[in-house]
Amino acid sequence: MSTIGDVTAAEWLDTKDYPFLSRHVQVDGGRMHYVDEGQGEPILFVHGFPTWSFMWRGLIKDLSLKHRCIAMDHIGFGLSDKPDHWSYTPEAHARNLRKLLEHLGLSTFSLVVHDFGGPIALSYALDYPGRIKRISVLNSFMWSLKTDERVMKFDHKIHGPLGKLGLQATGLGLSNMIHGMVEQRQKIAAKVYGQYTGPFHKAVERSGPMTLARSYIGSSTWLYDLWVRRESIAKIPGQILWGMKDHLLGPEHLNRWRQLWPNADFVTFPESGALIVEEQARDVEAAVYMFMDGQLELQGVQKAIHAEF
């Protein structure tokens, strides 16, 4: 069951910056909101913590000229339902992603993922590698973080009294985390931050981010199992875009991707944080556009040919 364009826009939503038609599909936990723009080879955009499909707006506007661009909001995020009692774990989000894909009936598609969107989407890719054409990864992961010192410290704070107060009771911690994902804050207009915090104004709306924040460590077993199966996607063309001043996922995680895709297109942004889609919007959009059109592979072939003469 799905619905199209039947929900009045939230008061906080900037429909000029996010002008897409709202669509919904029933999944576990309620109605999942998604957008479906353009025509051509499909690209599925998957967000993580603590964002929503708003982060993909620039890429959708650019790539929808030649591609069908789909971006959902996980249950508990963005414009999707936020039930009081639901799992909100990445495993549950991954199951809902499968329901969305079943609803859309896509035979093949490419992926663009960020943060927890990586393991959530790649869990599907690991099971059905033949359906995935390309994978673009922005500051994400697909392995257990249980031994990472920075992630462990983050997990300790989240479970502490200040973490609970800041994330769930007041929302101040969530706002700080969004700001903390950006290194060059002067590059982003103040109103943009409001679009990221808009879905979580009320305490009852913050269960999704709270649970996902605790899942960096809480879902370690599930994450470990994904990495064990990594070889099934090793031959899929990959692209890694990385903000080097990510305060949670450091350069060692970038190197993990090098292990999986040594010949992938790697683009690093030395002065940017985790939210490179905002800090380096034009560069990220250009890189993903070229990758999805296969232009990077063409350039590689041309260089190899010239090197022979």
Q: Does residue 300 have a pLDDT over 50?
A: no
Q: Where are the domains of the chain?
A: 2-307
- What local confidence, expressed as pLDDT, does residue 164 receive? 75
Q: Does residue 103 have a pLDDT over 70?
A: yes
- What local confidence, expressed as pLDDT, does residue 171 receive? 77
DSSP string, the chain: -EEES-SPPPTT--TTTS-PPPEEEEETTEEEEEEEE--SEEEEEE--TT--GGGGHHHHHHHTTTEEEEEE--TTSTTS---SS----HHHHHHHHHHHHHHHT-SSEEEEEEETHHHHHHHHHHH-GGGEEEEEEEEE--S--TT-HHHHHHHHHHHSHHHHIIIIISSHHHHHHHHHT-S-GGGS-HHHHHHHHGGG-SGGG-HHHHHHHHHHHHTHHHHHHHHHTGGGGTTS-EEEEEETT-SSS-HHHHHHHHHH-TTSEEEEETT--S-HHHHTHHHHHHHHHHHHTTHHHHHHHHHHHHHT-
Q: Does residue 215 have a pLDDT over 70?
A: yes
- The amino acid sitting at 214 is R
Q: Does residue 304 have a pLDDT over 50?
A: no
- What local confidence, expressed as pLDDT, does residue 263 receive? 93
Taking the whole predicted model, whether its pTM rises above 0.85 is answered as yes
Q: Which residue has the tokens 């697909």?
A: 142
Q: Does residue 306 have a pLDDT over 70?
A: no
Res. 253 pLDDT band, cuts 50 70 90: very high
DSSP string, 40-83: SEEEEEE--TT--GGGGHHHHHHHTTTEEEEEE--TTSTTS---
- Name the residue among 266, 24, 226 with its Cα closest to residue 118: 226
- Name the residue among 119, 149, 122, 159 with its Cα closest to residue 247: 149
For residues 90-107, average pLDDT: 97
For residues 216-239, average pLDDT: 98
Q: How far apart are CA 264 and CA 236, in angstroms?
A: 9
- List, for residues 107-165, the tens digit of each pLDDT value: 999 999 999 999 999 999 999 999 999 999 999 999 999 999 999 999 999 988 877 77
- What local confidence, expressed as pLDDT, does residue 180 receive? 92
Q: Does residue 301 have a pLDDT over 90?
A: no
Q: Which residue has the tokens 């994904």?
A: 226
272 vs 187, residue with greater confidence: 272
Per-position b or e across 113-144, b if 16+ CB within 10 A of its CB: bbbbbbbbbbbbbbeebeebbbbbbbbbbbbb
Q: How far apart are CA 96 and CA 29, in angstroms?
A: 9
Q: What percent of the chain has pLDDT above 70?
A: 92
- What local confidence, expressed as pLDDT, does residue 239 receive? 98
Class of the CATH-defined domain 2-307: alpha beta
- List, for residues 160-214, the tens digit of each pLDDT value: 887 777 777 777 888 889 999 999 988 899 999 999 999 998 888 999 999 999 9
| Number of C-beta neighbours around residue 145 at 10 A | 21
- Name the residue among 268, 258, 255 with its Cα closest to residue 238: 258
| Number of C-beta neighbours around residue 160 at 10 A | 11
Res. 309 pLDDT band, cuts 50 70 90: very low
Q: Does residue 49 have a pLDDT over 50?
A: yes
- What local confidence, expressed as pLDDT, does residue 294 receive? 85
Specify the range with the lowest mean pLDDT, choosing from 167-181, 219-233, 272-286, 293-307: 293-307
Res. 87 pLDDT band, cuts 50 70 90: very high
